[in-house]
């Protein structure tokens, strides 16, 4: 009787050890789930909206309804580089630039330089962007005057970029 209990206990211990070995042998990745969402494909700009504020009061909102003839794409790579294609409806592909997330993973920092229609001729529009929404199929970033502390009489401009993930196709 005691040998039966001992053999059951030994079998239980061996099963537990094998289960732990299988679970711990799974491949671990150094990329966080949030980073995986960024790098899981190419993001196409679907909407662009500018909101003007005085302090924290929205004065007006302008939705970009221009007829841009080129699609705009934001691509994040697992080696922490990114590119932006056709920013501001100007045919271009930016040079690969570094991207990262802040420690709390609420802000994107992308050093991508894009040609634009400003007097300077180029800008880093996503140097510090608030992640408003990130999902499997959508990404919404706020840029501009997004600092948390501002005067109640300060004029602010926040640009909201809405992206959708593009399907990746494979050749048969």
List the beta strands (DSSP E) in the chain. Answer: 42-54, 57-63, 73-76, 81-85, 97-101, 107-110, 114-115, 122-123, 129-134, 138-144, 155-165
Dist CA 1 CA 88 (whole Å):
80
Return the pLDDT at 28.
52
Return the pLDDT at 161.
97
Return the pLDDT at 160.
97
Q: What CATH number should be reported for the domain whose range is 33-165?
A: 2.40.128
Q: Which residues of the chain have pLDDT under 50?
A: none
Dist CA 88 CA 70 (whole Å):
9
Dist CA 113 CA 99 (whole Å):
12
């Amino acid at each position: 009787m005691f040998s039966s209990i001992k053999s059951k206990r030994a079998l239980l211990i061996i099963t537990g050890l094998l289960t732990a070995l299988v679970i711990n042998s799974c491949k671990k990745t150094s990329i966080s789930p949030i980073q995986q969402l960024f790098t899981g494909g190419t993001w196409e700009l679907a909407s662009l909206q500018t909101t003007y504020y005085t302090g924290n009061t929205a004065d007006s909102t302008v939705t970009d309804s221009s007829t841009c003839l080129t699609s705009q794409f934001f691509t994040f790579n697992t080696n922490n580089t990114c590119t932006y294609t056709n920013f501001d409806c100007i045919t271009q592909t930016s040079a690969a630039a570094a991207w990262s997330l802040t420690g709390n993973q609420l802000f994107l920092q992308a050093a991508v330089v894009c040609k634009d229609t400003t007097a300077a001729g180029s800008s880093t529009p996503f140097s510090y962007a608030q992640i408003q929404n990130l999902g499997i199929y959508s990404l919404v970033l706020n840029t501009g005057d997004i600092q948390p502390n501002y005067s109640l009489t300060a004029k602010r401009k926040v640009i909201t970029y809405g992206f959708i993930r593009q399907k990746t196709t494979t050749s048969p």
